[in-house]
Structure 1
Amino acid sequence: MARVSVEIENHIARVTLTRGDKMNALDPEMMQAIVDAGESLMDNEDVRVVVLSGEGKAFCAGLDVMSFGIHAGSDPVELLMPRSHGNANLFQQVVMVWRKLPVPVLCALQGVAYGGGCQIALGADVRFAAPDTKMAVMEMKWGIVPDMGGMALLPHLTRSDVIRRLTYTAAPFDAAQALDWGLVSEIAEDPVAAAMALAEEIAGKSPSAIRAAKALIGFAEENKGDPDAVLLEESRVQSTLMGKPHQMEVIAANLQKRKPNFG
C-alpha cells in the first residue's frame, strides 16, 4: 500500500501522507516512504516550493506503536546511533529532510499532529493549521523523549519553558495555543488551500533567490551567536544573486509591470 504521494505541477510539489485510514500513523514503511519522497525532491530544479499535508481526518497521529514490534529486543544503541542520513538516523530524517530541502516547505495540519507528526510539522518552513487541530509532543506518554529532530527545531520556534512543559507532560494543545507559542504560523479554515495560495506566491519569485534565502535563514539560525559570520554570509549570498539572470528578469518584470518568467 502506498504511504506517500508526490505530485508536481507549476513548480509546486504536493507531498501527501496517504495512510488516512490509520490517521497517517507512522509505521516503518511510512517513515521510509516519507524520507524517500523528500529526498526525491532534493535535486529537482523544477520544484520551487513543497506543500506537505495528510489525507483524511488527521495530519499524522504519530508513531504506530504496534507496527514497531519488529524492533522488540533490538539494541537501542545499534538502532538509533548510526548516522545513516548525513547527520541523522532514519527516524530523524523523516523530519529533517524537510528542513534540508533547498526550497520552502509549507505544511497543512488538520485533526491531530501528535508525536512524530508534530515533529514532521516542525520541519516545515511555515505551518497552517485548521482551527480544531490538536498537537502534542507525545513521547513522554511512552516513557521516551522526542528523538525525530524535535530538539533541533523547537528551540528556534518557541521558549525554553514551553518546550519543557510540552516535553515533560505530553499534554495536547490546540491550534490557538500553538499559534501563541509560535508552533504554527497561521490558523486557516482550509489549511491546504492556504498553503497552496502561499506556495503559488512563492513559486512566482526568483527561484535562485528563494533557495538562497532558505539557506541564509538556516545559516543565521545556526550561527545566531556569531553576528560577524552572519553579516559575511549575507554579503556572500547577495553577491551570487546580483546581476544574474533571475534578478535581471525580476527587475525587467517590475519595470514592465508583468509577472516574471524564469523559464
Structure 2
Amino acid sequence: MSDAATSPDEAMRQAEEWVRLEVVETTAVITLDRPPVNAMTMAMHDRIAELAREAGRNDAVKAVVVTGNGKAFAAGNDIGEMQAMSVAQMAARVHPMQACFTTVAKLPKPVVAAVNGYALGGGCELALCADRRIASSRAKLGLPEVTLGIMPGIGGTQRLPRLVGPSRAKQLIFTGRRVDAAEALDMGLVDEVVEPEDLMDAALDWAHQFRDAASWALRWAKEAIDTGLETDLDTGLMIEATGFASLFGTDDRRIGMKSFLEDGPGRAVFRGR
C-alpha cells in the first residue's frame, strides 16, 4: 500500500520505477512491476497514460503490448490510497483516471494485453482497453468492486458490457466473482489462452505481425470500429467513409495498389505514411 503522506513528486518517481516501457523490434511493451501484485496507484495510472502516448508518437512502434511482471497483470488499484480519499477528492480524480485508461484504448495502433495472472478491478479495466486479450492459463479476471462497497469506475461498467453483453457483465459486476482463463475465453472476455511460459511469445507474435503493415490504414480501421460501436449505424458509416477516402491520400495506398497490380496480393512494402 502507498503512504498517504507521499508527495506528488515522490509518487511519480515511484511510478516511473513501477511502470516501464521497452521497445522490442517494432513493438512497445508496457510492463507493470510493483510487487507483489502490481496494485496501481493514481500516479501509476498517469505513468501508464504517459507511456501510451510515448508509444503512440513513436513512428517506429507498430503495436503495443501491456502486461504485468510476476504473478499478476494488475490485481486492482491501491486500496490503501483510495481508502484515505474523500468524496470530493475522488470526484476530482475519477475523470482523470478514466482519461488515463482511455489513452490506452485510443492508441492509434493495435494493442494486446498479455494477462499473466490476476487481472482484477482496475487491472481488468486496463485489460479491457486492449484490442486483444491473451491470457495465461493461470489468469483470473474479475471486477470485485462491489465487495468493497463501490463499483467499477475506470470503464468497467461500459467496456465490459460492450465486450461480453450486458447480462454477463451484470452477473460479473453484481457478484464481484472472479473467472478463470477458460471461462473468460468462453464468454469472450479474453481471445486466447496459452500456457504461462508461452504468454509473452504469443503476445509479441500477435503484435509483430503489424511490423510491416500500413499504419494509417490500421489507425483508421480501429477508429472506425471503436467509434462506430458507440454511435448509430448511419454515423458509423460516415466515419468509415471519411477514413476510407482519407487513405487515398497516403503513400501506403499508392504503394499497396501498385504492388497488387504489378506483383499480386500481399507483397507490398509499406512506409507507414
Shift of 1:38: 1.9
Q: 1:232 aligns with which of 238, 243, 255?
A: 238
Number of residue pairs matched?
252
Tell me the alpha carbon deviations over residues 16-47 of structure 1, each in whole angstroms, 9 at most, x when there is no partner: 1121x221111233222222222333433332
Q: Distance in 2 between matches of 1:146 and 1:34?
A: 19
Shift of 1:115: 0.7
Shift of 1:251: 3.3
Q: Mind listing any 5+ residue stretches in structure 1 that lack a counterpart?
A: none
Contact 2:117-2:139 at 8 Å conserved across structures: yes
Q: Distance in 2 between matches of 1:45 and 1:17?
A: 23
Match of 1:196 in 2: 204
Q: Distance in 2 between matches of 1:96 and 1:175?
A: 24
Match of 1:219 in 2: 227
Q: 2:32 aligns with which of 1, 17, 23?
A: 17
Tell me, yes or no, if structure 1 residue 26 matches structure 2 residue 40: yes
CA RMSD of aligned residues (A): 2.0
Contact 2:42-2:97 at 8 Å conserved across structures: no
Contact 1:94-1:120 at 8 Å conserved across structures: no
Deviates most, 233-242 or 126-135: 233-242
Tell me, yes or no, if structure 1 residue 7 matches structure 2 residue 22: yes
Tell me the alpha carbon deviations over residues 69-96 of structure 1, each in whole angstroms, 9 at most, x when there is no partner: 542xx2x1x33434x7xxx723223422
Match of 1:159 in 2: 165
Q: 1:136 aligns with which of 117, 142, 147?
A: 142
Match of 2:3 in 1: none
Q: 1:109 aligns with which of 115, 124, 139?
A: 115
Contact 1:59-1:111 at 8 Å conserved across structures: yes
Deviates most, 129-138 or 4-13: 4-13
Q: Distance in 1 between matches of 2:175 and 2:140?
A: 15
| Partner-residue secondary structure (3-state), 2:237 | helix
Q: Mind listing any 5+ residue stretches in structure 2 that lack a counterpart?
A: 1-13
Paired residue type of 2:213 = K
Identity %: 33
Paired residue type of 2:243 = V
Contact 1:216-1:234 at 8 Å conserved across structures: yes
Match of 1:210 in 2: 218
Match of 1:55 in 2: 69
Q: Distance in 2 between matches of 1:32 and 1:105?
A: 18
Paired residue type of 2:269 = P
Contact 1:107-1:127 at 8 Å conserved across structures: yes
Paired residue type of 1:208 = W
| Partner-residue secondary structure (3-state), 1:39 | helix
Q: 1:67 aligns with which of 81, 96, 118?
A: 81
Tell me the alpha carbon deviations over residues 145-197 of structure 1, each in whole angstroms, 9 at most, x when there is no partner: 00011122112101211111111111111111111111111112222211111
Q: 2:251 aligns with which of 241, 245, 257?
A: 245
In the TM superposition, 1:174-193 aligns within 5 A as: 174-189=180-195, 190-193=198-201
| CA distance 1:9–1:261, shift in 2 (3 Å) | farther
Contact 2:45-2:101 at 8 Å conserved across structures: no
Shift of 1:261: 3.9
Shift of 1:15: 0.8
Deviates most, 127-136 or 57-66: 57-66
